[in-house]
Amino acid sequence: MAKNDNSFREIITKAVCGKGRKFSQATHTVTPAHKPSSILGCWIINHNYKPVENGNSVDVEGSYDINVWYSYNNNTKTEVVTETIKYKDTCNLSKRDENSLGKHIEVSARALQEPNTLEATISPNGNKILVQVEREFIAEVIGETKVWVQVNQDGVIEEFEDDSWEDEVDEQEFEDLDPNFLLGDLEE
């Protein structure tokens, strides 16, 4: 049937019009106050980000704090150094609806993998700490689009009957039932 006859209606609705995903790894250099002897721990906190539409992609702009606990002075003292890292990951929209109408309504991003430390090592020159980090995002662009639905012209609603939903017991199962099963505890 053609879409222009009376059996179809055009509906304008919000829908996901673009979707993309981005996995990234980065190495950050953290500069401690003292020359490190060993790395005792490394963690990432205070992760914040926001999505920004950028043509055929979504930029995820964010920041997080890297905390490194290290020893110095030949492993006789410890300290925690914190550095704030800013980043921008670009999620290319691999799935895109070219039929969306006009401007997009909403852009969203969700962290599939929050930034986390893969490894923290002392740099070759011995006075800095190298931290390898990974993160992953999925981004969506929501916009208006048109859908076509078929209209029930005659107004008759057909009832759906499905016999598979009924619980039936056949003769053999009925004969195998123990009539004293539920009464067993009452007779004691």
Q: What's the rounded Cα separation, in Å, for the pair 103 and 177? A: 66
- Please tell me the predicted confidence (pLDDT) of residue 176: 62
Question: 126: alpha, beta or left, given left = phi > 0 and alpha = psi -120 to 50?
Answer: left
Q: Which of 3, 173, 4, 20 is nearest to 95 (CA)?
A: 20
- Alpha-carbon distances of 72 from 17, 118, 127, 138, 167, rounded to whole Å: 53, 22, 10, 40, 73
Residue type, 147: V
- Please tell me the predicted confidence (pLDDT) of residue 1: 46
The helix/strand/coil state of 34 is: coil
Q: pLDDT tens digits for the chain (188 residues)?
A: 455 567 788 888 888 888 999 999 999 999 999 999 999 999 999 999 999 988 889 999 999 999 999 999 999 999 999 999 999 999 998 877 776 766 667 999 999 999 999 999 999 999 999 999 999 999 998 888 888 888 877 766 666 566 555 555 556 555 666 666 555 555 54
Each residue of 24-33: pLDDT tens digit?
A: 999 999 999 9
